[in-house]
Amino acid sequence: MSTKEQKILNFDPSQPGLADATVFGLPFTAEESEIVIVPVPWEVTVSYGAGASEGPDAVMEASFQVDLQHQEFPDLWKLGMYMDEAPEQWAKNSDKYKAMAQPIIEALESGEDVETFPALQADLDQINKACTAMNAEVKNRVLHWMDQGKLVALLGGDHSTPLGYYQALATKHDSFGILHLDAHMDLRIAYEGFTYSHASIMYNALQIPQISKIVQVGIRDFCEQEAEVALKDRVLVHTDMDLKQETFEGKTWKDQCDAIIESLPQKVTISFDIDGMYPWYCPNTGTPVPGGFSFEQATYLLSRLAATDKEIIGFDLVEVAPGDSDDWDGNVGARMLFHMCGVLAKSNKRPVGNKIVFNRK
C-alpha cells in the first residue's frame, strides 16, 4: 500500500482540516496530489479597490472550513489538492511596484501626460519590465508542475496574474479557448500605460496565437475601446443585460448555459474573476459592479461544461480580496475553488465519485 493510500485510510474527512496541512486541510504532499494550485499574490496595477494580493492567503485560510463531502464530487478530496508556495519575492515586488504605480495613476487621473514627467515614465517602464518578469516566472512555475503530470490551476492576485499561466498552456496545447466569467471585459489596451494591467488581461491573452476564442459571461462594465476589440477579434460576449433580458422573456439558465458551452472550442480554460458574481458574495473585491450571477448559476455552468465532451485544460480564480472585519470573501473564494477543482478533475476523467442524491422517492 502506498503512503497516499495509507493517508486516505487514516484521514477522517468529517473532522476539521489539519492545521498544518495543505489547502482544504488535506494531508497530501505535492507529489501525492493530482491537482496543484499556484498562488500569485500580485496587484501592482490596481487603480480602485486593493487587497487582491492577499486573496491566496485568505482563500487558503478559509479552505480549512470547507466540508470535503462535496455533493457532486464526493471523492474529490482523495485525489489530493496541494497549494504551491509562491516565491517570496512575488509579494514583496507586488508591494514595491504597487507603491511605485500609485503616483502614475494619480497623475493620469489629474489629466497629466506621464511622458512629460521623466521620473514617472521611468517608473512606468520599470513596472512594465517587472510585470514581464513576473509573467515569465509564473509560466515557468506552472510548467514545472505540468511537466510532472499535474492538473494545474492558478489562484490570484488581481486579474493580470494568469497571463503567464496562459502562456504555459500555450506550450502544451496548439489551440484552446477561454471561458471568461467577469463583470468586466478586460480588453483595454495597456490601461493607464501599464502593459500588463488587470484591465488588459484578455487583450493580452488575444496576443497568444494558440488562444482561438474568448467567450465572456456576465459582462456589465466596458469602455468604447473594449467594445471595438470584442467586435473585431475572437471574442464572444454574453453581457449581463442580454442574459437577464433573455431570462425575463422566458429563456432558462440551462438553455443559456448550453448556448455558451456550444460556442466554446474543444479545449478550454476557465478564467473566473470573483466580481462576476453578485457583489454581496465578495463585497471587498477590487472593482464591484451591480448585477451579475449567483454562486449556484456559476457552479451549474461549470458543472454542465464538465459533463460535455469538451476538455477543460485548466482554470484561474482571481480578485478575491479579504475584508477587514471578516473572512467572507475568502470563504466564498475557497468554496468556488473547491468546486472548480472538481470540475477540472471530472473533465480530465479523474475519479471524483457519483453525485449524492438525497431526495429519493
Vertex 92: Cα angle to 88 and 90 (nearest 5): 50
What type of residue is 274? I
Task: Reply yes or no on whether the pLDDT at 77 is more than 80.
Answer: yes
Mean of per-residue pLDDT scores for the chain: 95
CA distance 285 to 267: 29
- Write down the pLDDT at residue 156: 94
Task: Reply yes or no on whether the pLDDT at 177 is more than 70.
Answer: yes
Mean pLDDT of the 11-32 span: 90
CA distance 234 to 96: 35
Q: Which of 131, 132, 165, 147 is nearest to 37 (CA)?
A: 165
CA distance 52 to 228: 28
Angle formed by the axes of helices 295-306 and 253-262, nearest 10° = 50
What type of residue is 233? D
pLDDT digit string (tens) for 259-313? 999 999 999 999 999 999 999 998 888 788 999 999 999 999 999 999 999 999 9
Q: Show Cβ contacts of residue 70 under 8 Å, excluding neighbours closer than 6 positions.
A: 76, 77, 338, 339, 342
pLDDT digit string (tens) for 31-44? 999 999 999 999 99
Instruction: Report the C-alpha dihedral over residues 27, 319, 348, 260, rounded to 10 degrees.
Output: 150
CA distance 62 to 83: 13
pLDDT digit string (tens) for 88-124? 999 999 999 999 999 999 998 889 988 889 999 999 9
CA distance 62 to 284: 15
Residue that has been written with the C-alpha cell 494591467 in this structure = 197
pLDDT digit string (tens) for 321-358? 998 777 899 999 999 999 999 999 999 999 999 999 99
Contact of 217 with 302, CB cutoff 8 Å: no
267 forms beta bridges with 311
Of 43-47, 130-134, 173-177, 292-296, the poorest mean pLDDT is in 43-47
- Write down the pLDDT at residue 109: 86
Residue that has been written with the C-alpha cell 453578485 in this structure = 278
Q: Which of 189, 186, 160 is nearest to 43 (CA)?
A: 160
Distances (CA, A) of 359 to 25, 74, 163, 336: 30, 17, 43, 24
CA distance 193 to 105: 9
Domain ranges of the chain: 3-347
More confidently predicted of 172 and 282: 172
pLDDT band at 74 (very low <50, low <70, confident <90, very high): very high
Distances (CA, A) of 58 to 87, 88, 299: 17, 17, 21
Architecture of the domain defined by 3-347: 3-Layer(aba) Sandwich (3.40)
CA distance 37 to 345: 13
- Write down the pLDDT at residue 326: 73
CA distance 159 to 165: 12
pLDDT band at 47 (very low <50, low <70, confident <90, very high): low
φ/ψ (deg, to 5) at 4: -65, -45
pLDDT band at 49 (very low <50, low <70, confident <90, very high): low
H-assigned helices in 215-286: 224-232, 240-248, 253-262
Q: How many residues does the chain have?
A: 361
Query: What b/e sequence results for 220-255 when a residue is b if at least 16 CB atoms lie within 10 Å of its CB, and e otherwise?
Result: bbbeeebeebbeeebbebbbbeebeebeeeeeebee
Task: Reply yes or no on whether the pLDDT at 17 is more than 90.
Answer: no
pLDDT band at 226 (very low <50, low <70, confident <90, very high): very high
Q: What is the pTM of this model?
A: 0.96
Task: Reply yes or no on whether the pLDDT at 48 is more than 80.
Answer: no
Mean pLDDT of the 149-177 span: 97
Contact of 264 with 215, CB cutoff 8 Å: yes
Q: Show Cβ contacts of residue 112 under 8 Å, excluding neighbours closer than 6 positions.
A: none
